Structure 1
């Protein structure tokens, strides 16, 4: 018995802990784990960065502790509003110094698309986890560089797929996977709005990498994949433009695209900056259907199936997203729908193929 006590003491395990029921001990361990808080710095203090910051006020597992911005006045405003200490504030020239700051776990990049890759590589080199807004990069080549850099550095690369945690979305996905709709053979995704200020970065090819497809269109690309539960093997696509002054060369106004899947399922989708009221998903199977409208807006999401409406409490998407991402990073939780860099890379491969299909005017196989 004495030898056993000595062993337990060295191992840091008490005899009391071993005498407790397994479930009680496990519960205590989980509670201790849930006490950990993910400490977040936001890079890019624009409208979406502000939306994430406001949502995080209600988070249980994630806390805003730092900022990265090229605008000193914004930094000062955020310091006052969110109580951020000066030591956790950086600009785009010196944010590599975050490597010496143990009070920041992850940096959430809400910057223009073209900045995601270079900033991600610098953050990975600094040993910090990275959350990137979508699309993760300008193309699949850049996306692969980001994934590889974070893997090499041993840090997480996550993508801001907030809909992957939205309750009604998850219920439709659960029903599809359970076979409630039979064999699902058709998906429709309509994603669009009328974009405003023609001088904004989203209409700058160098910063955005394209037009509507590199912004709102990714929702239909990604939605088709998680709603059908498959990866597409081919795409066709067509571009149309009604305002070539506002939508210059290389900045797409409207793209209609189709995707084919191994099961024989087809997705028919629209991405546009020219029309409002386009936020709809429709999934059809041999035994039923699901429809969502709005399907990806900030909410509340509305969803119904052939069995009736889906009712779930609306929680601010970014609040749920950041708490769930905290669980992924801190606890190793596996989400129902992935949000890692490999998931972001799959969307980029498809978007590359869509642009190639527009240029070539023919079906493009996805390898």
Structure 2
């Protein structure tokens, strides 16, 4: 019924298009492609073949995450003011594909950083309208040209909220989302790890039962593919494309040192 593409980032574009031409629905790991141009090509190919394209956003089905989104949608936090997303770990084997520019398309941003980008969007509940970004590299031998070690980035949202995020391959114990609003707060820590997600808000601890992320992701995606179900947070190709446009803008901001405006 469907093919799940979990290969290195540089292979996604070609493989997804080949799967679509074969008439199969596609689930593609994130980031969906190396850049927004490739992502757009994948979306067009799937539309032409009349197959569905989903992106492997497992956190979009995680119970504590969805509870915070429910509370925000019902106005329990009031106006959203600020989001912080810290995502990182110290990467091991220097020869792995994730540290190869040709295969990965970048460094930490193309792996762990996308969680902060996507998390900011679903926690704030809006798409950003600008980004700024700064890169830090302490080990250029391990993190070669075009492979980012650490990037700090900021995003502004139309409702006035600002996000401050960190993506790194050089620091452990960074897995936290924090949302500050006029009437309360929400925190997830760990926020994206494979073990139990822990969360609390200004109203107390979140006690939704832990679920195996991939199990619920695949169950829900099967319903989307077979039954046309709509997920609370989108997981389609257009969702993946938005994150790619933001990544493109972050890399541009790193190079130029300037704020980059976004139209998603």
- Structure-2 separation of matches of 1:220 and 1:179: 23
Is structure 2 residue 195 aligned with structure 1 residue 299? yes
2:56 aligns with 160
Cα shift at 1:125: 0.4
Q: How does 1:238-317 map to 2 (within 5 A)?
A: 238-317=134-213
Is the radius of gyration larger for structure 1 or structure 2?
Answer: 1
Q: Matched residues in 1 for 2:169 and 2:46: separation?
A: 33
1:313 Cα shift?
A: 1.0
Q: Which runs of 5+ in 2 are unaligned?
A: none
Cα drift, residue 141 of structure 1: 0.2
The CA deviation at 1:312 is 1.0
Gaps in structure 1 of 5+ consecutive residues: 1-104
Alignment partner for residue 82 of structure 2, among 165, 168, 186?
186
Cα deviations by residue, 1:202-251 (Å, 9 ceiling, x for unpaired):
00000000000000000000000000010100000000000000000000
Aligned length: 263
Q: Distance in 1 between matches of 2:211 and 2:176?
A: 20
Structure 1 residue 177, shift from structure 2 partner: 1.1
TM-superposition CA deviations, 1:102-157 (whole Å, max 9, x none): xxx10001100000000001000000000000000000000000001001100010
Deviation, 1:292, is 0.6
Partner of 1:213: 109
Matches for 1:172-183 after TM superposition, within 5 Å: 172-183=68-79
Q: Does 1:202 pair with 2:98?
A: yes
Displacement of 1:315: 1.1
Q: Who is 2:258 aligned against? A: 362
Name which of 28, 34, 49 aligns with 1:132. 28
Secondary structure in 2 matching 1:257: strand
Partner residue, 1:115: 11
TM-score (norm 2): 0.99
- Name the SS of the counterpart of 1:315 in structure 2: coil
* Aligned-pair Cα RMSD in Å: 0.4
Deviation string 1:51-90 (CA, Å, 9 cap, x unpaired) is xxxxxxxxxxxxxxxxxxxxxxxxxxxxxxxxxxxxxxxx
Higher relative contact order, structure no. (Cα contacts within 8 Å, ≥ 6 residues apart): 2
Match of 2:220 in 1: 324
Matches within 5 A, 1:22-171: 105-171=1-67
- Large movers: runs of 4+ above 2 Å: none
